[in-house]
Homo-oligomer: A and B are copies of this chain.
Amino acid sequence: MSADSTFPAAPPRIRVVLVGTQHPGNIGSTARAMKTMGLSRLALVAPERYPHPDAEALAAGADDVLAAAAMHGDLATAIADCQLVYGCTARSRRIALDEYTPRIAATRLLAASREGGEVALVFGRERTGLTNEELQLCHAAVHIPANPEYSSLNLAQAVQVLAYELRMAMLEDAAADVVEGHREPPASHAQLESFFSQLAETLDAIDFHKGRTPDAAMHKLRRIFLRAALDEREVRILRGVLADAQRMARLAADRGKA
C-alpha cells in the first residue's frame, strides 16, 4: 500500500499550541514538523521572541503554517474553544493527570477530532515545560518514552514525534474508511472475554489441545487477539468462524455415534 497516497483530504482539526517558546528557531522547526505530517493549525502563547528571522529560516517551506499561526497571551485563551486538550510533559509532576504514550494519545485525539471537536496538543517551554497551572487546563498528559538518563527531547523533535503518531493514526483511519465506509467502535472488555470463552470452547470441540494443558496456547492466542485491537465487527466475524467450526465438530461427533 502506498501510504502517502491514502493521505486524507481534509487535515484534522488538531491544533498544536506552543507556550512560552524561548528559541524562535524552534517555532519554525515546529511548523515544518507539523506540515510534513499534514497538520496546519498552530497557536503561539506568549513566545519570547516572535516574529523572528530564525523562525522563517527553519520553517523551510512551511511558512504558510507560520503565517496562519494564532497568537495568544495565555494558554486558557488559546484553548478556550477546545473539547480535548493534552499537554506534553516530562514525568513526575504533582498534578494527578492521566498520562498517555504518543501512540495512544494520537488515537484518542484523532477520535475526538473526528467527532467534530477542536482538539489541542500543548507543548511547554524548552527548559521548564508547562507550569502546574497550565497542566491543570489539560484533560490528560502525554509523555514520550525516553532514556531515563537523558530524556530531554528538543521541543520541535517532540512535536515531530507526536505529529508522526497523529499521521500514523490518520492513515489507519483512512484505510479503515476506504475499506468499510465507516469506523466500528473498539470491542469492549466484555465482548472480548465472550469471544475468548467461545474460542476456548471451540479449541476443546476440535480437540486442539490433545491432552496438553490448554493454558499456554490460550495465553498466546489471547495475546494475538488483544494485540490486534479488534473492533466490534471483527469480533462478530471471528465468532462466526468459531461457530461454524463448533458446528462441524458437533456434526462429526453426532455422525460418529450414528
Q: Which residues of A contact B (CB under 8 A)?
A: 2-5, 7, 29, 32-33, 35-38, 60-62, 91, 101-103, 143-148, 150-154, 156-157, 160-161, 164, 167-168, 171, 179, 203, 205-208, 217, 219-221, 223-225, 227-230, 233-234, 237-238, 240-241, 244-245, 247-249, 251-252, 255-256, 258
**Cβ of A7 and Cβ of B228 under 8 Å apart?**
no
Can you give 8 A-B contacts (C-beta < 8 A)?
A4-B91, A33-B153, A144-B164, A146-B167, A225-B228, A245-B245, A245-B248, A248-B248
Choose one: B7, B38, B208, B228; the contact of A227 (CB below 8 Å). Answer: B228
Contact status A227-B224, CB under 8 Å: no
Dominant secondary structure of chain A at its interface with chain B: helix
Q: Would you call B237 and A220 a contact (CB within 8 A)?
A: yes
Q: A103-B168, A252-B251 are in contact. Are A152 and B61 (CB under 8 A)?
A: yes
Closest to A225 in B: B228
Of the candidates B2, B153, B156, the one whose C-beta lies within 8 Å of that of A36 is B153
Which of A147, A179, A225 has the most CB atoms of chain B within a 10 A radius of its CB? A147
In the complex, how many angstroms separate the beta carbon of A32 from the nearest chain B beta carbon?
6
Partner of A4, one of B145, B157, B160, B230: B145
Q: A146-B37, A220-B234 are in contact. Are A4 and B206 (CB under 8 A)?
A: no
CB pair B62 A241 closer than 8 Å: no
Give the docked Cα–Cα distance between A167 and B102 (Å).
12
Tell whether, in the assembled complex, residue A224 and residue B238 are in contact, meaning their CB atoms are under 8 Å apart.
Answer: yes
* Best-buried of A220, A237, A248, A252 by chain B (most CB within 10 Å): A248
Contact flag A147-B217 (CB < 8 Å), given A152-B61, A157-B160 = no
Q: Are B238 and A60 touching (Cβ within 8 A)?
A: no
Which residue of the partner chain, among B29, B151, B164, B179, contacts A223 with CB atoms under 8 Å? B179
10 shortest A-B CB distances, which residue pairs? Answer: A255-B255, A3-B145, A251-B252, A228-B228, A252-B252, A206-B244, A38-B147, A4-B148, A245-B245, A157-B160
A179 to B249, CA, bound (A): 31
Cβ of A151 and Cβ of B36 under 8 Å apart?
yes
The reply to whether B217 and A224 form a contact with Cβ atoms under 8 Å apart is no
> Among the interface residues A36, A151, A156, A168, which one has the most CB atoms of the partner chain B within 10 A?
A36
